Amino acid sequence: MNQTETGLNPMQMEAVEHTEGPLLILAGAGSGKTRVLTHRIASLIRDKGVNPWNIMAITFTNKAAGEMRERVDKIVGYGSERIWVSTFHSSCVRILRRHAERLGYANNFAIYDTDDQKSLIKDIMKRLQMDPKLYRDRAIMAAISSAKDEMIEPDQYRIDAGIDWKLQKYAAVYAEYQAELKKNNAMDFDDLLVQTVKLFQQFPEVLDYYQEQFRYIMVDEYQDTNTVQFRFVSLLAAKYRNLCVVGDDDQSIYKFRGANIENILSFEHVFPDAKVIKLEQNYRSTQNILNAANEVIANNQGRKAKRLWTENPEGDLIDLRQFQSGFEEAEYVAGEITRGVRTEGKKYRDYAILYRTNAQSRLFEEKLLLANVPYKIVGGVNFYARREIKDLLAYLRVIENPEDDLAVLRIINVPRRGIGAATINKVQDWEAEQGIRFYDALLEAEYVPGLMRSLNKIKSFTSFLQVLRAKADYLSVKELLNEIIEETGYVADLQAEGTEEAAARIENIDELISKIADYEESAEQPSLGGFLQEVALVSDIDSVDEESDYVLLMTLHSAKGLEFPNVFLAGMEDGIFPSYMTITGDDPSELEEERRLCYVGITRAMQHLTLTCARQRMIRGEVQYNKMSRFVKEIPRELISLERERGEIEDRKPKMDIPTRGSVYAAMKQAFREKPQQAKTFSAQKATKLDYEIGDTVRHIKFGVGIVTDIVDGGRDYEVTVNFDQAGTKKMFASFAKLKKL
C-alpha cells in the first residue's frame, strides 16, 4: 500500500507496516489511532498474506467492531468476516462457549447482567442476615467486581480482608455469590474474562491452540484495559509477540471500573523490545477546538507530555452560554439544533449532546420532544432492561438453560399463576436440603412437603416449560417466542390493560420480535443460545444506526472514540462536572480523571463546540447554585465566544410552541405512539401536583399575593411565573415556592 492510496501520514504508515513484534501507538485524540488499526488489519491480509482467521482486534464496543470490519472489507474486499474483531467480552464468550465445560460450567451458560447480579446479591444478603442499612448491595457488587478485575478469588479475598469485619462479610457474600452463579450455570460480565484467563492458565493446550490462531493481536482504547484484560492479551500474545496496542493516556476514564493506566505506561517494561510510535497530527477538529483541549489537559500533572497540532482551519470560536436554569439550557440546545437544521442545512445526526451523568438527559429529552427534534439516548434505561423484555427473555433463557434459577424465579409467577412467595420458599428449602437445582425441585414438586393446592399450579408451569423445551428443537427462536406470548397471554393481558404504558410495552415486544427476525436472517447458524448471547452483550451504542437521522444524547463516558460535527457539552458547572465528589474529596487524582473526561468531551467535536451551564439547577429535588466549571476557566478567553450571552433566551427563544402542561402531555402521547422507547421519562412520577392554574391568584410566604402568568412543565417539577403585587414578576419552582391558591 502506498501513502496516497491509504490516506495515511508517514508516522501512521510506519505503524501500519510494523507488524512483527510488540508495538505501542501512543497518541492523542483524533490522531487516527483507530484508523491505523483498521489499515493495519487490511495491510496484514492484503500485503502480507496473513490469513484473516489469524487476526484478533479488540474494540471498545460491538458497534466499533462492526465498523472496523466493514472498513477492512472496503479496503481488502474479502475475508473480513473471518477476523475476530470484537470486544473483550464477546471474544471471551466465544472461547468459553467451546471450553466452559473444562471449568465445570455447561457450554450453554447464562450471562447475568447487572440486574440479575443485584437480585442475586440481595438474596444472599438476606440469607446471611445482613442488615441492608449497614451493607449496601451496590458497594458489595462494586467490591466483587474490582476483586475480579484483579483476579482475586473469594478465598484470597477472605485472607486479604484480615480482621476487617466488613470486608469479611463482603468475602462471605463473594464466596456465596460465586457458588450460586456456578449452581445456576451462569457467569457475570467480569467472569467472562476471569474464567477465560483461568482456562488459559489451567489448560495450556487450550492456550496453545488460541496462541496459534491469534498470531496478530490488536487492542484499541488500550488505556482503559484493566488487569484481567491485560492478562488475557498478554497470555494470547506470549508466543508470537505480535501485539499492537493503541491508546491515549489522556483519555483514560475508567479507573472506577478498574482500568489501569499503568498498563499503558508500563507497556515498554513488559515488552522491552516494543516499538513506540507517537502520532501528533489531529485530523478531526478545528484548530480552536484542539487548542482548547490541549490547554485543559495541560493542567494534569501525571501525564506523558504531548501536544496535538492540526492543519485544519482555525474554525469557529467555542460558544459558551450560561443560563438561569437547566430548563433554559435545554431549551437553548433544542432551539440551536432546530435552527441549524432549518437554516444551515445540517442533519440531526450532526449533533451530539454530552453530559456527565445519565440523569441530566431528562430535561433535554423533554425539550427535544417539544421541539419535535428526533433523538436517541445512549445508555439510561437499556431496551433489554425493560420489564416486558426481561420477562420474555427469561422464558427463552429457561428453555435454553433450566439451571438458570434467576430466570425461573422471574417467570414462575409471571403472568400470575397463583404461585406465591410461601410456595417458592418451601420449594427452595427442599431444594437446599436435597442439594438439587430449583428447576429440578419444581419438576419433583410432589415430594416437597406442604405444597397442597400449589402443587398443581407448579405442575402445569413445569409441563408448559417442558413442552416448550421439546419444541425448541424444531421451532425457530421467533416461533418459540410467539408460542410463549400466545400461551402465557402476555400481550393479551397488556391489551386488556389498555393504558398508554401497556401500549408502549407491546410496541417494545414487537421490537423484540423484529430483532429476533433480524438475527435469524443475518446469523450464519441461528440458534436460541446464539441469540441470547448476542442480546447479553449488546451495549447501547451498538443499536445506534448510522443511516437514521437523530441527535445523540449520551454521557461523556459513552462518547469515547466517537466524533460529531457539532457537540454540546452541557452542565459545565462545578459540582456537576467536575463532580461534587471530586471537588470535595481529597484525592487530586480524581480531579485529574474528570479533566481527562473533559478532554475526551472537547475532542469529540469536529467543527463546532458549545459549552453550556446553568446558574441554578434542580438536583434530587433541591435547587443547587453552581459556579461555572473550573474546566471552562482553563480554556483561554480568546478561544471563547460569549456573544449573546445575556438576554439571549428572550430574543432567541426557539420557535416552538410555548410549553404548557397540555402541550407536554400531547407531546408525551405522541411520543408514546411514535417512539415508545424515547418517552420513558414521562412515565416517571412528578414530585409536585399543582392545584392552581394560569390566571389564579396565589400567595407566597415572602412575596405576598400575585397572579400566575405562566406554568412550564419541567418534568419533575413545574416552573411557575407569578406577577406579585408588591415584588413584581418572579419565576420559581413549584415544589419550593409552596404557593397557596387564594
Q: What residue ranges in 471-595 does DSSP mark as E strands? A: 551-555, 564-569
Among 9, 300, 358, 624, binds ligand ATP (CB under 6 A): 9
Q: Which residue has the cell 444551515?
A: 344
What is the DSSP track for 216-251? EEEESSGGG-BHHHHHHHHHHHTTT--EEEEE-GGG
Cβ at position 58, least distance to Mg ion in Å: 12
Contact string 279-308 vs ligand ATP (x = CB under 6 A): ----xx------------------------
Nearer to ligand ATP by C-beta: 80 or 401?
Answer: 80
Window contacting Mg ion (CB under 5 A); options: 253-261, 287-295, 322-330, 557-565: 557-565
Catalytic residue among 116, 123, 149, 221: 221
Q: Is 34 a catalytic residue?
A: yes
- Residue 28 known to bind ligand: yes
Q: In this structure, what DSSP letter does residue 344 have?
A: S
- Residue 695 known to bind ligand: no
Contact (CB, 8 A) for 521 and 476: no
Q: Is 563 a catalytic residue?
A: no
Window contacting Mg ion (CB under 5 A); options: 255-263, 526-534, 560-568, 733-741: 560-568
Q: Give the amino acid at 184.
A: N
Q: Which residue has the cell 464477546?
A: 90
The answer to the question of residue 602 lying near ligand ATP (CB under 6 A) is no
Cα–Cα distance measured from residue 254 to residue 149, given in angstroms and rounded to the nearest whole number: 12
Q: What is the 3-state secondary structure (H, E, C) of 406-475?
A: HHHHHHCCCCCCCCCHHHHHHHHHHHHHHCCCHHHHHHCHHHCCCCCCHHHHHHHHHHHHHHHHHHCCCC
Task: Decide which of ligand ATP, Mg ion, none touches 639; Cβ closer than 5 to 8 Å per partner kind.
Answer: none
The answer to the question of residue 30 lying near ligand ATP (CB under 6 A) is yes
Q: How many residues bind Mg ion (CB under 5 A)?
A: 3
Contact (CB, 8 A) for 480 and 396: yes
Window contacting ligand ATP (CB under 6 A); options: 31-39, 105-113, 493-501, 631-639: 31-39
Cα–Cα distance measured from residue 217 to residue 226, given in angstroms and rounded to the nearest whole number: 17
Contact string 221-250 vs ligand ATP (x = CB under 6 A): ---------------------------x--
Nearer to ligand ATP by C-beta: 352 or 419?
Answer: 352
Task: Decide which of Mg ion, ligand ATP, none touches 248; Cβ closer than 5 to 8 Å per partner kind.
Answer: ligand ATP
Angle CA(204)–CA(208)–CA(210) in degrees, nearest 5?
120
Residue 218's nearest CA partner among 77, 46, 16 is 16
Residues with Cβ within 8 Å of 633's Cβ and at least 6 positions away in sequence, in order, are none
- Residue 29 known to bind ligand: yes
What is the DSSP track for 180-216? HHHHTTEEEHHHHHHHHHHHHHH-HHHHHHHHHH-SE
Cβ at position 33, least distance to Mg ion in Å: 5
Catalytic residue among 12, 34, 310, 462: 34
Among 34, 263, 360, 681, binds Mg ion (CB under 5 A): 34
Quick one: which H or E segment has residue 705?
Answer: strand 704-713
- Residue 27 known to bind ligand: yes
Cβ at position 382, least distance to ligand ATP in Å: 24
The answer to the question of residue 505 lying near ligand ATP (CB under 6 A) is no
Window contacting ligand ATP (CB under 6 A); options: 32-40, 150-158, 377-385, 436-444: 32-40
The answer to the question of residue 33 lying near ligand ATP (CB under 6 A) is yes
Task: Decide which of Mg ion, ligand ATP, none touches 30; Cβ closer than 5 to 8 Å per partner kind.
Answer: ligand ATP
Task: Decide which of ligand ATP, Mg ion, none touches 283; Cβ closer than 5 to 8 Å per partner kind.
Answer: ligand ATP
Contact (CB, 8 A) for 537 and 361: no
Cβ at position 683, least distance to ligand ATP in Å: 35
Q: Is 220 a catalytic residue?
A: yes
Q: What's the length of the chain?
A: 742
Catalytic residue among 188, 220, 250, 336: 220
Residue 17's nearest CA partner among 32, 36, 35 is 36
Catalytic residue among 35, 437, 604, 617: 604
Count how many Cα atoms sit within 13 Å of the Cα of residue 640 in the half-sphere of its side chain: 19
Angle CA(388)–CA(392)–CA(396) in degrees, nearest 5?
160
Q: Is 33 a catalytic residue?
A: yes
- Residue 31 known to bind ligand: yes
Cβ at position 594, least distance to ligand ATP in Å: 18
Beta bridge partners of 309: 281
Beta bridge partners of 564: 605
Q: Is 627 a catalytic residue?
A: no
The answer to the question of residue 561 lying near ligand ATP (CB under 6 A) is yes
The answer to the question of residue 561 lying near Mg ion (CB under 5 A) is yes
Among 11, 22, 26, 31, binds ligand ATP (CB under 6 A): 31
Q: How many residues bind ligand ATP (CB under 6 A)?
A: 19
Q: Is 612 a catalytic residue?
A: no
Nearer to ligand ATP by C-beta: 283 or 384?
Answer: 283
Question: Which long-range contacts (C-beta less than 8 Å, at least 24 apart) are formed by 703-712?
Answer: 703/727, 703/730, 705/742, 706/730, 708/739, 710/658, 711/660, 711/661, 712/327, 712/659, 712/660
Contact (CB, 8 A) for 722 and 711: no
Binding site for Mg ion (CB under 5 A): 33-34, 561
Binding-site entries for ATP: 27-34
Binding site for ligand ATP (CB under 6 A): 7-9, 12, 27, 29-35, 248, 251, 283-284, 561, 563, 603
- Give me the active site residues, please: 33-34, 220-221, 251, 604
